[in-house]
């Protein structure tokens, strides 16, 4: 099992961690938000933490972002030639997960090395950063998410990064229903990305339970793989299982294709003291 950390990215920095919180810089704005796994002490002073532009905290009206300075509703972040919009969401996220930069680069390299036009499926695709990375690398992308607001945000990102011409299908749908229909239609994909939540809801009230539905979804994804797939990538957050599970299920799904399977943790490296912060687990397969 391995731990992956992204290369330094000028638009993001994990400034410090401690006392159940992260201090992070997204572009020009510094944010403080909770992370219950952080049981250690911070390295920076309280004065440094007090400089945050926004803090996600408990208030009389529940948990929410408390903005301490003047901040726009959204602001741009840049990754290579691409541009994305960050926003303060009610779920303490910004719509961009910096630890995924290591996966973006891994996926981009495999798409470009394929020397053919690949069909890529991105399920639970959220705000579309990975979809745009794949499209910019030359792939045809099908982006599926159950949330209309997330799809709208992804389309904003597409426009911001000047990829309006890119070959991307934006689809609001339940992942299980969509993959089943794609199999019926005879559609095949050369690469699949999954970022499933622990629990969720489809656009028409469908329920998602990771432990119950994940094996079903994997079986359906296997049926829509092309005869010569290039990669299969799974990211998972806050599930009660290890990366070993993802490696094992990928070995089942990709049986007969050869290739290489890796599994482990995604982490961010803290600027203040160099400590690693685990952010999730992953499993990934790629052709030899």
pLDDT of res. 49? 98
Residues 110 and 241 occupy one common structural domain: yes
| Structural domain includes residue 83 | no
pLDDT tops 90 at residue 241? no
Residues 175 and 238 in one domain: yes
184-to-20, 44, 77, 187 alpha-carbon distances in Å = 47, 56, 39, 8
- Domain holding 262: CATH number? 3.40.50.150
Is the separation of the CB atoms in 283 and 263 below 8 Å? Answer: yes
Residues 111 and 251 in one domain: yes
Percent of the chain residues past pLDDT 90, beyond the cut? 93
What is the DSSP track for 114-160?
A: T-S--EEEEES-TT-HHHHHHHHTT-EEEEEES-HHHHHHHHHHHHH
In terms of domains, do 101 and 184 share one? yes
- In 3-state terms, the chain is what percent helix, strand and coil (to 5)? 25, 35, 40
Of 23, 47, 77, the position where a domain reaches its end is 77
pLDDT band at 269 (very low <50, low <70, confident <90, very high): very high
Residue-wise pLDDT for 98-150, tens only, equals 999 999 999 999 999 999 999 999 999 999 999 999 999 999 999 999 999 99
Out of 50, 77, 104, pick the residue that ends a domain.
Answer: 77
Per-residue pLDDT, 239: 78
**Beta carbons within 8 Å of 131's beta carbon, 6+ residues apart:** 120, 122, 125, 141, 143, 154, 168
181 in the same domain as 52: no
In a domain, residue 149? The reply is yes
Of 77, 109, 137, the domain-final residue: 77
Q: 266 and 153, same structural domain?
A: yes
* 20 and 150 housed in the same domain: no
Q: Is 146 in the same domain as 220?
A: yes
Please give the residue range of the domain that contains residue 17.
Answer: 9-77
Kindly state whether residue 251 falls inside one of the protein's structural domains: yes
* Number of domains within the chain: 2
Residue 87 in any domain: the answer is no
- Beta-carbon contacts of 240 under 8 Å, excluding residues fewer than 6 positions away, are none
Q: Do 134 and 187 reside in the same domain of the chain?
A: yes
pTM, two decimals, is: 0.96
| Arithmetic mean of pLDDT over the chain | 96
pLDDT score for 247: 96
Same domain, 112 and 200: yes
CA 78 to CA 66: how far, in whole Å? 25
Check which CATH number belongs to the domain holding 65 and give it: 2.60.40.1180
Q: Assign 270 to helix, strand or coil.
A: coil
**Residues 198 and 275 placed together within one structural domain of the fold:** yes
Q: Which range is least confidently modeled, 10-19, 140-149, 170-179, 206-215?
A: 206-215
């Amino acid at each position: 099992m391995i731990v992956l950390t992204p290369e330094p990215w000028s638009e993001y920095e994990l400034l410090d961690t401690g006392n159940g919180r992260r201090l992070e810089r997204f572009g020009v704005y510094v944010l403080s938000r909770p992370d219950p796994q952080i049981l250690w002490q911070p390295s920076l002073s309280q004065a440094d933490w007090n400089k945050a532009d926004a803090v996600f905290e408990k208030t009389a009206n529940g948990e929410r972002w408390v903005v301490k300075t003047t901040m726009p509703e959204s602001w741009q972040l840049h990754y290579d030639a691409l541009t994305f919009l960050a926003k303060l969401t009610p779920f303490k996220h910004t719509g961009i997960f910096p630890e995924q930069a290591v996966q973006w680069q891994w996926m981009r390299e495999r798409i470009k090395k394929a020397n053919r036009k690949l069909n890529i499926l991105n399920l639970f695709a959220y705000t579309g950063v990975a979809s745009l990375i794949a499209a910019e690398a030359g792939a045809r992308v099908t982006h599926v998410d159950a949330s209309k607001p997330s799809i709208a945000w992804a389309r904003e990102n597409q426009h911001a990064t000047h990829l309006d011409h890119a070959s991307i299908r934006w689809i609001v749908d339940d992942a299980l229903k969509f993959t089943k229909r794609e199999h019926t239609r005879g559609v095949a994909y050369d690469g699949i990305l999954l970022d499933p939540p622990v629990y969720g809801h489809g656009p028409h009230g469908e329920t998602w339970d990771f432990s119950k539905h994940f094996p079903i979804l994997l079986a359906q994804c296997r049926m829509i793989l092309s005869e010569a797939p290039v990669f299969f990538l799974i990211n998972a957050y806050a599930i009660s299982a290890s990366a070993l599970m993802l490696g094992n299920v990928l070995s089942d799904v990709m049986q007969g294709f050869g290739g290489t399977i890796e599994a482990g943790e995604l982490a961010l490296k803290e600027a203040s003291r160099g400590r690693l912060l685990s952010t999730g687990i992953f499993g990934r397969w790629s052709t030899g």
